[in-house]
């Protein structure tokens, strides 16, 4: 696609659309990526990120990460920091799958130990961790218990025996973001969520058994800190979020904001999908408290899934999870808005940072980084397609330019409907197995949607993130077994 004539190349990986690009822009829009990625970016990204630049209270820049592609309101990969006094909060800048995120667990098992048991492992994981649209989990809780879960997050799970205390330390926000208020969520949201804890869901959600091969370790010193210590070491990585619950929370408040945005607060937006309310308004505060419930539900969901993974590995190998070294590296969130302190023109300001399909990537020494990683920075987990591999990175001090945010995945280059016309799920499964990747999927069409060719090259995305200084590569994990939503 030809680039907009007015776009300015700031560096090899930073491109800027000035405020003159579109009437109403309050700040420039910056897109991160190599020329190859920028040339391939869909046109809607330019329109959406410059729409974001018109929102009240936006600070410094509207940003799009290297995996950027068109989304609802914000592009996926969009980042925007709002002044907490004058700015807005927008569900379109957070996403329907609130706290869709990644969790990485290492083991001390090697590829040679796991290979004979791979199909058994994947089949049992597929059976124990429900996947697909409408799937329900093994945890049966009442509606009142669910309200406790969305206020307590992963802490509720650990307290009830579904995890280890150490898991909380290795989770963003320690597995529970403060200020979640279940009184701000609808009964319909509870209906959609209370039986879905411990499920993968559909779309690009997955659970993968992976191998960290020595030749794909980019920084051995950092890798050791993250628990990668032996050749061909086995890891488990999975990606899921708040399921129907988060979707309903976003839907509910979008309707609220559409009613009050113009009539009550005089806010005009260029796209209804950017429906917003002042962050400090009653409606804005209610949504923030409800959105936090979505964050906590997702942390609990991933905690329950980890519990099941440990059970399956113990069943197959006849050893305890501790004996197999099944410790978390980290759990990172996408699709959130959080109040954070950032330096703007030499002054520390409280900002509401929207990350839509983008990962927090705090650098060394920053508050919020687990003590174990304080000197090196926050782990960053970026999933690739099921055919390629996924990366472990680390946050850097250079991340200040993006409010310490980086990419979250490969980024789609093809719609789901086109992917289903291009590939057949059954054929894809056979081809992957021939290449040493055993996959189970809830549906053939769902598998076709997630074909590697429907995504950007993960190596290109990671290269752009590293060259721009917003995160640093540590290791590439190669998939050998996959459970697909």
385 is in an annotated binding site: yes
* Element (DSSP H or E) covering residue 421: helix 416-422
Q: Is 335 annotated as a binding residue?
A: yes
208 carries a ligand binding annotation: yes
**Are the CB atoms for 210 and 371 separated by under 8 Å?**
no
Q: How many CB atoms lie within 10 A of CB 34?
A: 18
Q: Is 350 annotated as a binding residue?
A: no
Annotated ligand binding at 239? The verdict is yes
Instruction: Tell me whether residue 204 is annotated as binding.
Output: yes
The verdict on whether residue 194 carries a ligand-binding annotation is: no
288 carries a ligand binding annotation: no
State yes or no: 247 annotated in a binding site.
Answer: no
For residues 197 and 241, give the distance between their C-alpha atoms in angstroms, rounded to a whole number: 10
Please state the φ and ψ torsions of residue 219, each to the nearest 5 degrees: -140, 100
Annotated ligand binding at 320? The verdict is no
Confirm whether residue 137 is marked as ligand binding: no
Least Cα distance to 176 among 205, 161, 154 occurs for 154
Residue 315 is assigned to a ligand binding site = no
Strands (E), 249-345: 277-278, 328-333, 336-344
CA-CA distance, 143 to 135, in Å (whole number)? Answer: 18
The H or E element that residue 59 is part of is strand 58-69
Q: How far is CA 30 from CA 33, 66, 282, in A?
A: 10, 11, 31
DSSP-assigned states of every residue in 91-156: GGGT-SSTT-EEEEEEEEEEHHHHGGGHHHHHHHHHHHS-BSTT---S----HHHHHHHHHHTHHH
Smallest CA-to-CA distance from 212 within 101, 328, 107, 122 is with 107
Q: Is 400 annotated as a binding residue?
A: no
Q: Confirm whether residue 203 is marked as ligand binding.
A: no
97 marked as part of a ligand binding site: yes
Q: Which 8-state DSSP code applies to residue 343?
A: E
Say which residue the tokens 């403060």 belong to.
178
Per DSSP, the residues of 372-389 read: GGTTT--EEEEB--TTT-
Alpha-helix residue ranges (DSSP H) falling in 200-281: 220-225, 243-265
Annotated ligand binding at 457? The verdict is: no
Does 411 carry a binding-site annotation? yes
For residue 369, the SS3 value is coil
Burial of residue 85, with CB atoms counted within 10 A of its CB: 0-12 exposed, 13-18 middle, 19 or more buried: exposed
> Residue 423: which residues within 8 A CB-CB, separation 6 or more?
448, 451, 453
Structure tokens at 418: 């086109």
For this structure, is 408 an active site residue? yes
Q: Which of 155, 342, 408, 430 is catalytic?
A: 408
End-to-end Cα separation, the chain, in angstroms: 32
409 is in an annotated binding site: yes
Angle of helix 118-128 versus helix 282-317 axis, rounded to 10? 140
Q: What are the residues whose beta carbons fall under 8 Å from the beta carbon of 442, sequence distance 6 or more?
A: 131, 132, 133, 135, 202, 484, 485
Tell whether residue 343 is among the known ligand binding residues: no
Residues of the binding site:
97, 204-208, 239, 334-335, 383-386, 390, 408-411, 484
Q: Please give the positions annotated as active site.
A: 408
Residues of the binding site for Mn(2+):
97, 205, 239, 334
Residues of the binding site for GMP:
204-208, 334-335, 383-386, 390, 408-411, 484
């Amino acid at each position: 696609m030809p680039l907009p004539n007015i776009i300015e190349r700031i560096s090899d990986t930073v491109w800027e659309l000035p405020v003159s690009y579109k009437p109403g822009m309050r700040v420039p829009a910056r897109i991160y990526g190599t020329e190859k990625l920028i040339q391939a970016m869909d046109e809607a990204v330019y329109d959406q990120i410059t729409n974001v630049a018109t929102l009240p209270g936006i600070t410094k820049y509207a940003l799009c990460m290297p995996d950027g592609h068109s989304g609802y309101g914000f592009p996926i990969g969009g980042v925007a920091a709002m002044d907490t006094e004058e700015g807005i909060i927008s569900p379109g800048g957070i996403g329907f799958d609130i706290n869709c995120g990644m969790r990485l667990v290492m083991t001390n098992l090697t590829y040679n130990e796991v290979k004979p048991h791979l199909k058994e492992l994947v089949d049992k994981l597929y059976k124990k961790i429900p996947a697909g649209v409408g799937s329900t989990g093994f945890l049966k809780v009442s509606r009142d218990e669910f309200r406790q879960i969305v206020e307590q997050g992963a802490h509720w799970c650990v307290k009830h025996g579904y995890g280890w205390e150490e898991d909380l330390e290795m989770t963003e926000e320690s597995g529970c973001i403060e200020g979640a208020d279940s009184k701000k969520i609808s009964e319909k949201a509870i209906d959609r969520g209370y039986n879905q804890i411990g499920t993968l869901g559909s779309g690009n959600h997955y659970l993968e058994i992976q191998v960290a091969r020595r030749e794909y370790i980019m920084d051995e010193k950092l890798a050791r800190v993250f628990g990668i210590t032996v050749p061909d070491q086995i890891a488990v990585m999975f990606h899921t979020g708040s399921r129907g619950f988060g979707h309903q929370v976003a839907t509910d408040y979008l309707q609220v904001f559409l009613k009050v945005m113009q009539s009550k607060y005089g806010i005009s937006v260029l796209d209804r999908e950017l429906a917003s309310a002042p962050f400090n308004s009653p409606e804005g505060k209610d949504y923030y408290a409800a959105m936090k419930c979505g964050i906590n539900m997702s942390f609990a969901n991933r905690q329950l899934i980890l519990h099941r993974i440990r059970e399956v590995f113990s069943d197959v190998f006849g050893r305890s999870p501790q004996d197999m070294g099944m410790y978390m590296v980290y759990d990172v969130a996408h699709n959130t808005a959080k109040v954070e302190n950032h330096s703007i023109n030499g002054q520390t300001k409280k900002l509401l940072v929207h990350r839509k399909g983008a990962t927090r990537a705090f650098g060394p020494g920053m508050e919020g980084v687990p003590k174990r990683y304080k000197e090196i920075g926050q782990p960053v987990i970026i999933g690739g397609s099921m055919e390629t591999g996924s990366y472990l990175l680390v946050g850097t001090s250079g991340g200040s330019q993006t409010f310490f945010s980086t990419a979250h995945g490969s980024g789609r280059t093809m719609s789901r409907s086109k992917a289903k016309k291009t590939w057949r799920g059954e054929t894809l499964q056979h081809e992957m197995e021939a290449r040493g990747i055993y996959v189970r999927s809830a549906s053939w069409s769902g598998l076709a949607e997630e074909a590697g060719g429907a995504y950007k090259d993960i190596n290109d995305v990671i290269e752009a993130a590293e060259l721009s200084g917003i995160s640093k590569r540590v290791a590439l994990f190669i998939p050998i077994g996959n459970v697909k939503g």
